[in-house]
Amino acid sequence: MFKNQYDTDVTVWSPQGRLHQVEYAMEAVKQGSACVALRSKNHAVLVGYMRSSSELSSFQQKVFEVDEHIGVTMAGLAADGRVLSRFLRSECLQHKYVYDSPLPTGRLATTVADKCQNCTQRSWLRPYGVGILLAGYDATGPHVYYNCPSGNYFEYHAFTMGARSQSAKTYLERHADVFDDCSLDDLVLHGLKAIKDSVQGGELDADNCNIGIVGEGQPFKVLTKDEVQPHVDRLDTEEMEGEDD
């Protein structure tokens, strides 16, 4: 009711014990375009739906390589995302430089979470307006982490965020049991099927879809347009055959 009095500064608590600025930052994530992350026993996959601001503009890349074994997709303020990507990359390189080994995914998630939390406790800063989905493969297997602007993070078997992602969430919840034993191609197909209905005014195709894969014997790779095409074709074929999902 008195939300407006307590929501100007990030350092002001509301009487209900909430930080409204942080919650508003989480709203920004919901404005971004949809993205999905899921994992099997051996692989992790990221799928992002790329937006373009007009017919004449390029598509905003969604999936980024952070290191040879970690990739990331984001939703929210793209500028904040770019800055955090640079931070993620330099953290991984720094670790490799000092310890000559890849940074474990969970440790990276913690480091980013600390950085995000920092901004929620300084009066001269604002929280990052971007949610980060990390997908990585390290000595303990594939992992998917979601980092929130609040500084919270969780590990997931599968996760989705962004505009119109509710249908994707429902799809992932319904099919979560089969992901563990999926092959890489099937895992990608599940990701595409999940995100299919989050697309606004059009179809998912090789132009507006970013796919990233990582896993056992597979360093992180963002698929090129030519590599995405067969997956999209498979999606279209299955749709036409009217397979039940």
Residues that bind other proteins (CB under 8 A): 65, 86, 89-90, 93, 97
Minimum Å gap between C-beta 126 and other proteins is 25
Q: Is 63 helix (H, G, I), strand (E, B) or coil?
A: strand
How would DSSP label each residue in 33-62? PPEEEEE-SSEEEEEEEPPBSSTTSPB---
Nearer to other proteins, 87 or 156 (CB): 87
Nearer to other proteins, 36 or 112 (CB): 112
> Which residues make beta-bridge pairs with 218?
215
Nearer to other proteins, 93 or 125 (CB): 93
C-alpha to C-alpha distance for 240 and 7, rounded to whole angstroms: 49
> Which residues make beta-bridge pairs with 160?
36
DSSP 224: P
Minimum Å gap between C-beta 59 and other proteins is 15
Minimum Å gap between C-beta 89 and other proteins is 5
- What does the chain come to in residues? 245
Nearer to other proteins, 45 or 70 (CB): 70
Nearer to other proteins, 88 or 172 (CB): 88
Minimum Å gap between C-beta 177 and other proteins is 36
Minimum Å gap between C-beta 97 and other proteins is 5
DSSP 74: E
C-alpha to C-alpha distance for 121 and 126, rounded to whole angstroms: 9
